[in-house]
Structures are given as C-alpha cells and as structure tokens.
Chains A and B, each alone.
Chain A
Amino acid sequence: MVLASIFESGVSIQFYIVLSTILFAIGAIGVLIRRNMIILLMCIELMLNAVNLLLVAFSTYFGKADGQLFVFFIMVVAAAEATVGLSILVMAYRNIRTTDVSIFNKQKG
C-alpha cells in the first residue's frame, strides 16, 4: 500500500515514458549493432518489456485495466518467442558452431 501511494502521488507519468523510451532505444540499438544471437534475443526482450512498462503505466494513469490485460498477452507471446528463438539458436549453434548472426547473409541480392 505504501508503494501504491508513492506511485499515485510522487512519480508522474513523464518518468515512465522517458524510462521506457530509454529501455526501448537500448534494446533497438543492441539489436542493430550486436552480432551475438543471444544478445539479440535479450535486446528484443528488453524492447518488449519497455512496451510492457509503458502499458502498465498508462493503465494506472487512466485507471483502466485494458493496458494490464495487454501486458499479459505480450508476456505469453514473448515467452513463446523466446522459446522458439532459443531453440533456433541451439540448432544453429549445433550446425555452425557459432552464434554470430553476421554470417547469415545468404539472401544477399
């Protein structure tokens, strides 16, 4: 209850927006510049969670439950995505003995 009162009174919505923007940017830049596939997956997860944070924040701000509902969906999807992504990663590693994505350039025109 104490925590809730702090949220309601002290931390305004702008902080959440800024925080999640920073998190999203870190995730995006990570995806762009890193070559390791594990890092890539983690960065994607970071971006998803930045969005989640924003949704929860707005949900509280507007006093509606829709945003929180969405967050659950995203979590489920993210979990599934992480599972699939990690299994692809494992298979790729078994075959090519590396987790570097820069060698996946077979689609070069």
Chain B
Amino acid sequence: MAVDQLIVMILALPLLGALINGTIGKNLPKQIVGSIATIVMFAAFGLALMVFNSNHEEKIIHLFSIINLDSLTLNARFQVDSLSIWMTLIVTGVGSLIHLFSMGYMSHDKGYYKFFTYLNLFIFAMLILVLGSNYFMLFFGWEGVGICSYLLIGFHYSDEQKGMLNGLAARKAFIMNRIGDLGLLIALFLILMQFGTLEYREVADKLLVENMMPTTWMMFGITLMLFIGATGKSAQIPLFTWLPDAMAGPTPVSALIHAATMVTAGIFLVVRSNFMFETPGAQATQDIMLYVGLATSLAAAFMAMRQNDIKKVLAYSTVSQLGLLFVALGMGAYTAAMFHVTTHAFFKALLFLGSGSVIHAMSDEQDIRKMGGLKKYIPITHMTFLIGTLAIAGFPLLSGFYSKDEILAHAVMHSPVIYGILMVSVAMTAIYMFRLYFLTFHGTFRGTEEAKHHLHESPKSMTIPLLVLAVLSVIGGALNLPGVILSKGTHWMSHFLEHNTRGLELIETHHLSNSQAMLLMGGAVLMTLIILFGAFVVYVKKNSVAKADEELKGWELLSNKKLYFDEIYNALFVVPVEWISVKSHQFIEMFILNKSITGFTGLIGKSGDVVRKWQTGVVSSYILWMVVGIIGLVVYYLIKF
C-alpha cells in the first residue's frame, strides 16, 4: 500500500474503534469491547511500522480543504516525515500496550466501554496533532486531546467518596489548558497575519528559502505565544498545577495521556516549529524557555521528594522531566529532546503502569505509607518497576542514562551553571524515585490485614505490557548512542530526524571531546550510585518510613505542600475572581440588571393595562372607530387640498 492510504488508515482505525464502542459498546461483552479497542491500536501500530519502513521522504497528503477563502486556506493535510512518523510510532506503540493493560486494569469498572471509547478517541486526536501538516490541524488535535484528557481525568465523577474531587481535577486541567490554548491561538493568528499560511512547510520556506525576515518583535511574539501554548499542555510553570491533580484519572490514563503522549505535545510543537525558534527575534523566547524549564524541573523534583501518593510522585516526576525537555529545547537541542521524549515515554509509561499494577494489587490504595514489602507478592511488577526506576534515575546503560546524558552534555556546552542546576534536579529525581521504590517494595507491609490477604499479581494482560515496556526502557538508549562508546552506528535518531531539526549539525560542530564526555558520564553514574546506596541505607537498612503529614516541618512540609503553589494561585486568582463574582451578583446582577429589566417589563405591562380598555370586544364599536378614522382622513385631505 502507498503511504497515503496507510496514513489515512492509521488515523481511521482508532476513530473506528471509538465509533463502534461509543455507539454499540454498551451492549457488547467487556472482552469484545476491550479487544476491538486494543486490536485497532495494534493494527494502527503495525501500519505505522510499515510507513516507517517504506521511506523517509517528506510527503504531504492532501485530503480536502476545510475553508478556502481569498486570504485564508485551511487544509486537512498530513505531513509524513521523520518527526511525525516517529511520534506516530510512540503514540500507537505505547498506546497499544496501555490499551492492553487497561483491559485488565479496568475489568471491574462499569464504564468499561466508555473508557475505551475515550481512549481510542484520544489516540485519534493525538495522531491528528502529530501528523497534521499545518498549525490548524495541530490545533484541532490539541483541543481533541484536551477534551479527551478532561473526560478521562473526571472518568470516575460519580464515585461516592471522590467523585466531586475527580470532577474538580478535570475542570482544573481543562481551565489551565484553556489559558495555554489561548496563547497557541494567538500564535496561530500572528503566523497567519505574518506569513499568510499555516502550513509548516510554507512558513519554513518563507523564512528559510525566500529569506523573508519579519521584525524581531513579531518573531518574539509568535514564538513566545507558541511557548505559552506549550506550557499549558506540557505542564510548565506557571501552568503546571493541573498535571498532579490529573492523577485523579484511572492509572492507564495517567500513563498514556499525562506521561507518555499528550504532555509531550508541547515539546512536539516546539520541535515542529524549530525553524521559527532559530530566527533572531526568538533568541529571547529560547532563553525564557530555558529558564522556565529549569525552574520547573527543579521545583517539581523538589515537590516530588515528600509526596506520599504513589501516582503524585510520578506526576511531579513527569513535570520535572518535561522541564528538562524544555531546557533542552531552550538550548536548541531538538534531537536530544526528541530522544528523551521517546525514552521518557517508555520508562514513565512503565512506571505508571507499574504503579497501576501496585494499586490494583492493593485494592485501590495509593498511599505508599500503607505499602511496603510488596516485592514478595507481586514479583513481575516489582522487577519492571525497578527497571523503570533505574532508567529514570539514570542508571548506567539503561535508556534514561543516554537521553539525560545527551541533554546534560548540551548543557555543559551552553553554560556550566545550567549544567550544575540540572545536575541538582537529576539528583533529586534519583532520590525521590529510589525513595518511592524502596518504600513501596521493601521493608514490611504496613497496610491492613485485609489488604495483605488480598495482595495478588496482576493478570497477564497487565504484566505483558509491563514486560515489553521494561525491555524498551532497557534498550531504548540504543536509538541514539553517544559517540564515546562506539565509533559507528551512533546518533541514529539524530540522523533520522536531521531533516526536521538542526540537531545533527549542533552535534557535529560542538562536539565534546571523548574525555570530557566520559567525565560527564562518569560523574552522573557516580552520583546515581551514591544516591542509590544512600537511599538503600536510609529506607532498607534503617527501615525508616515516610512521616505522617503532621510531623513534617521545614523543607519537608514545603515539598509536601508543593511549595504552596495551589494556595498562592488560590489567593491570587480564585479568591479575587470569586469576590468579584459575588459582588457583581449582588450589585450588577441583582440591583442594576434585575431592576432595569423588571422595571421595563413593568412599564410595558402598565401601558398594556391602559390600552386594553379600548378593546371592548364589541364589533360595532370597532367599526365605529374605523368609520371615524376614514371620515377623519377624508376631512384631513379635503382641508389640505
């Protein structure tokens, strides 16, 4: 099959799954619903692999024009190139595994068919986002994944205890994303105004080939607005607080949407628009991106240190990793960022699914203070979770080690200070991940007897995705091996993405010397090992456990309370807005608007009462009026002429 049909089928399959499950899924048995959703995903992944194998030439697939005006053309078009096909592989590949996992995880849920409908719909929207050939298609997918994220965060909205909280978390995510989306929308308008088109290729041609040079302010504005859009979706300061709350959704959702795919949409957006971020005016945006990413990475890693909800730790970890990615983007290291997006998708999906398996075994308990010693009971989950932990902590030869190291190498070239701060963030990552791992799987079981009795390893449909992702987390680093160890076959991914980004020339021009690179790696490895040993001593040998909320003080309290971000936002935005709303309800609504409207209706009613008297209902009196009128008219005209 030609690439055209393949791409259309890749897009159509998840949509078809969503349509089937959304319409008749309620009446189908659970196995069939889950199988349909999972099979379309695996089929889409297979087709994506076929596209990946066929060729890597850039190709535009035009489906139809949505709007065709004199000044504006919006096309439903897809762009198949290295970047979009790579993202498609991640989305469909990780997506299929998570669908498979969900079949086991959600098996006791009433809304089974609804869950898979949303999940398939999400994949469809995400594929539109990554495959579209213009900013409009990206925006379409962007909003599509947003609504699916909203629906899935609030999936258990009717839960008796936490239903309300789940709904609020969903609302928070939605509103926070709206703020970012407004930025993206403004960026779209600015691009349209400046370039007259939204197609990536045409914009790039105008900038690079035709040498059209907009003012620096214009480029700064466009790129900054794009970045604001990215901060919303990819959970950066100041819009990151929705992501930890989004953990209210079922765990597979956290793995798929809030770790592996949707939150990397912001990264994808910046990588896609890299030709704009390299123009003179955008230097300032790059710096903003760098520092915002740095601050987010550091702050989120700090917050993760004293969280006691297994999913919250991973959520802050995701925010922190996304911050790291924006640091990479701020330095222009686009391929390094894409590499880390890939490995992060593997190990973070693995960690989330592992935590899902733990929660499943613990009968929906998420507090790590009530876990402990789980490695005996759920060995497969334990092994895979350990691999995920080691990968994210940067243990040598696992995938996270290579991808982080590449970003760190860029940081060294950029500025030693940034490298230093990043190392702190990386160190904290290792600390909280080992804390999470040891507290969950080592020591003694701290939960109730009933929960202990119920502990069990998850079914096959859940352990198989864990194993596959664990393997990927181990070998994922091979995608982009650094030049230090081998002389050939390195930087495969940088070469693969060279058409889309300028990552390759960056690597080849500013190459670190081998000894420097070895030094960096050695430092990182040493740090990870020390932290591993330290965490082992603290949490296994000394058997210390996480403190109760009341005993926390100092920095621990600060970390546990997320640096009081929510409280500050509450005081800054929510409270004033509520105050204004209440006051305007009292004064504007009740006093001015209500009074003026009721006054007006009263006036009309009163005048009606007066006029009504004329309507006697006697026909002859009406005729009398008519005759009088006619006579009056006749008399008037007689006098006039």
Taking beta carbons and an 8 Å cutoff, which residues of A are in contact with B? 28, 31-33, 35, 101-102, 104-109
User: Are the C-beta atoms of B612 and A109 separated by less than 8 Å?
Assistant: yes
From A28, A33, A101, B619 is in contact (CB under 8 Å) with A101
User: Are the C-beta atoms of B615 and A108 separated by less than 8 Å?
Assistant: yes
Does B624 reach chain A (CB closer than 8 Å)? yes
* A102 CA / B620 CA spacing, docked (Å): 8
A/B pair count, beta carbons within 8 Å: 32
Does B613 reach chain A (CB closer than 8 Å)? yes
Does B485 reach chain A (CB closer than 8 Å)? no
* A32 CA / B614 CA spacing, docked (Å): 17
* A81 CA / B614 CA spacing, docked (Å): 28
B258 CB to nearest A CB, Å = 66
Does B616 reach chain A (CB closer than 8 Å)? yes
User: Are the C-beta atoms of A105 and B620 separated by less than 8 Å?
Assistant: no
Interface centre among B613, B618, B623, B624 (most CB of A within 10 A): B618
User: Are the C-beta atoms of B614 and A104 separated by less than 8 Å?
Assistant: no
User: Are the C-beta atoms of B620 and A32 separated by less than 8 Å?
Assistant: yes
User: Are the C-beta atoms of A31 and B614 separated by less than 8 Å?
Assistant: no
* A102 CA / B627 CA spacing, docked (Å): 19
Find chain B residues with CB under 8 A from A109 CB.
611-617
Find chain A residues with CB under 8 A from B624 CB.
32
* A15 CA / B612 CA spacing, docked (Å): 44
From A31, A105, A106, B623 is in contact (CB under 8 Å) with A31
Known pairs A28-B627, A107-B617; list 13 more (Cβ under 8 Å): A32-B620, A32-B627, A33-B620, A35-B620, A102-B618, A105-B617, A107-B615, A108-B617, A109-B612, A109-B613, A109-B614, A109-B615, A109-B617
Known A-B contacts A28-B627, A32-B624; A104 and B619 likewise in contact (beta carbons under 8 Å): yes
A-B contact pairs, 18 of them (CB 8 A): A31-B623, A32-B620, A32-B623, A32-B627, A33-B620, A101-B619, A101-B620, A102-B618, A105-B616, A105-B617, A105-B618, A107-B615, A108-B615, A109-B611, A109-B612, A109-B613, A109-B616, A109-B617
From A31, A106, A107, A108, B620 is in contact (CB under 8 Å) with A31
A70 CB to nearest B CB, Å = 20
Shortest Cβ distance from A34 into B: residue: B620
User: Are the C-beta atoms of B619 and A108 separated by less than 8 Å?
Assistant: no
* A70 CA / B618 CA spacing, docked (Å): 32
> Scoring B residues 598 to 617 as 1 if CB is less than 8 Å from chain A, else 0, what string do you get?
00000000000001111111
* A107 CA / B616 CA spacing, docked (Å): 7
From A28, A31, A32, A106, B617 is in contact (CB under 8 Å) with A106
Find chain B residues with CB under 8 A from A108 CB.
615-618
Find chain B residues with CB under 8 A from A101 CB.
619-620
* A104 CA / B618 CA spacing, docked (Å): 7
Interface centre among A35, A101, A108, A109 (most CB of B within 10 A): A109
Find chain B residues with CB under 8 A from A107 CB.
615, 617
B window 582-641: CB within 8 A of A: 611-620, 623-624, 627
Find chain A residues with CB under 8 A from B612 CB.
109
Shortest Cβ distance from B611 into A: residue: A109
Shortest Cβ distance from A101 into B: residue: B619
Interface centre among B613, B615, B617 (most CB of A within 10 A): B617
Find chain B residues with CB under 8 A from A32 CB.
620, 623-624, 627
Shortest Cβ distance from B614 into A: residue: A109
Shortest Cβ distance from B631 into A: residue: A28
Find chain A residues with CB under 8 A from B623 CB.
31-32
Find chain B residues with CB under 8 A from A35 CB.
620
B607 CB to nearest A CB, Å = 13
* A54 CA / B618 CA spacing, docked (Å): 31
Shortest Cβ distance from B615 into A: residue: A109
Interface centre among B611, B620, B623, B624 (most CB of A within 10 A): B620
A13 CB to nearest B CB, Å = 19
The 7 closest A-B pairs by CB, nearest first: A109-B615, A108-B617, A105-B617, A109-B612, A107-B617, A105-B618, A32-B624
Find chain B residues with CB under 8 A from A105 CB.
616-618
* A107 CA / B612 CA spacing, docked (Å): 11
* A105 CA / B611 CA spacing, docked (Å): 17
* A43 CA / B620 CA spacing, docked (Å): 13
Find chain A residues with CB under 8 A from B619 CB.
101, 104
* A106 CA / B618 CA spacing, docked (Å): 9
* A32 CA / B626 CA spacing, docked (Å): 10
Find chain A residues with CB under 8 A from B614 CB.
109
Find chain A residues with CB under 8 A from B620 CB.
31-33, 35, 101-102
Interface centre among A33, A104, A107 (most CB of B within 10 A): A107
Shortest Cβ distance from B630 into A: residue: A28
* A102 CA / B619 CA spacing, docked (Å): 8
* A80 CA / B613 CA spacing, docked (Å): 35
Shortest Cβ distance from A31 into B: residue: B623
A47 CB to nearest B CB, Å = 11
A15 CB to nearest B CB, Å = 21
Find chain A residues with CB under 8 A from B611 CB.
109
B627 CB to nearest A CB, Å = 6
Shortest Cβ distance from B613 into A: residue: A109
* A26 CA / B615 CA spacing, docked (Å): 26
* A37 CA / B617 CA spacing, docked (Å): 16
B628 CB to nearest A CB, Å = 10
A46 CB to nearest B CB, Å = 14
Find chain A residues with CB under 8 A from B617 CB.
104-109
B23 CB to nearest A CB, Å = 54
* A104 CA / B616 CA spacing, docked (Å): 10
* A35 CA / B618 CA spacing, docked (Å): 10
* A33 CA / B620 CA spacing, docked (Å): 7
B window 275-294: CB within 8 A of A: none
Find chain A residues with CB under 8 A from B613 CB.
109
A80 CB to nearest B CB, Å = 21
A7 CB to nearest B CB, Å = 28
* A104 CA / B615 CA spacing, docked (Å): 13
* A33 CA / B614 CA spacing, docked (Å): 18
Shortest Cβ distance from A29 into B: residue: B627
B160 CB to nearest A CB, Å = 58
* A8 CA / B334 CA spacing, docked (Å): 110
* A106 CA / B611 CA spacing, docked (Å): 17
Find chain A residues with CB under 8 A from B615 CB.
107-109
* A101 CA / B617 CA spacing, docked (Å): 11
B609 CB to nearest A CB, Å = 9
* A64 CA / B544 CA spacing, docked (Å): 121
